[in-house]
Every structure is written in structure tokens, then in C-alpha cells.
A = this chain, B = another copy of it.
């Protein structure tokens, strides 16, 4: 029982560190927002995507954020998460220009509306950053 909890925490801790490095405050806000409706889901979110997947050694954070921004732009139905990951892309070293390139490329694979909505999401993130400074 104690062992189970200890090991779960170590996976959880690894995920928490990755989440902080990648998503920063935006990640914390999502976790906090889940607190009163699905606290276990906050834990899964930290453990599986961040503790398991993003912590794997085979691909760096930059490449992983390119993949995530591409997928969320193409799916086109998860704007809040796309914005979090555009932020995340900047946090892990992608330039604004690189992020814009990835989103534009999605016109080829998911159509112009998906790319347009992705670009406008990026515009909102970039503007909020400029205002915050």
C-alpha cells in the first residue's frame, strides 16, 4: 500500500516536473480547475501524458510540441488545449515563426479552415504574451 503510493508519487512527481517545464502556469490552471469535479483526472493528466509520454527519452520537447501543435490544429476541436500547447512550444524553445510554419502546414492535411483557426489561436497567444511583458 505504502509502496504503491510511493511509486505512484514518483511517477506523479516526474509528470509534475515535466508539466511545469512544458506548460508552466497554464498547466497548473488546468490541474486546479479539475480539483472540484475530477481530481483523479488531474492526477491521470500528470501521470500519463507528462509522467509517461513526454518524459520518454526518444524525442525532445521541441519535437513533441511540434507534434502536439500539429495534431491539435488538425483536429480543430480543442482550442483551449491548442493555446496551452502554443504557449508550451514557446516555453520549450520553438520560435513564433516555427509554430506558425507548423500550423500553416496543416492546411495541407486538414484544410484551410483548420489552419486559419490555428493561426488565430496563435495570434491570441502571441498578443497575450506581448501584453504581459
Please give the distance in Å from A53's CB to the nearest CB on chain B.
5
Chain B residues in 8 Å Cβ range of A44: 48, 52-53, 104, 107
- Closest Cβ of chain B to A98, distance in Å, is 6
Contacting residues, chain B, for A78 (C-beta < 8 A):
76, 109, 111, 113-114, 116-117
A40 touches B104 (CB 8 A): yes
Chain A contact residues: over half helix, strand or loop, or mixed? Answer: helix
Taking the full assembly, how many copies of this chain does it contain? Answer: 6
Checking B7, B63, B104, B126 against A7 with a beta-carbon cut-off of 8 angstroms, the contacting residue is B7
State whether A109 and B68 are in contact (beta carbons under 8 Å apart), knowing that A4-B10, A77-B76 are contacts in the complex. yes
Per the bound structure, the CA–CA distance linking A4 and B4 in Å amounts to: 8
Shortest distance between the CB of A81 and any CB in chain B (Å) = 4
A38 at the interface (CB under 8 A from B): yes
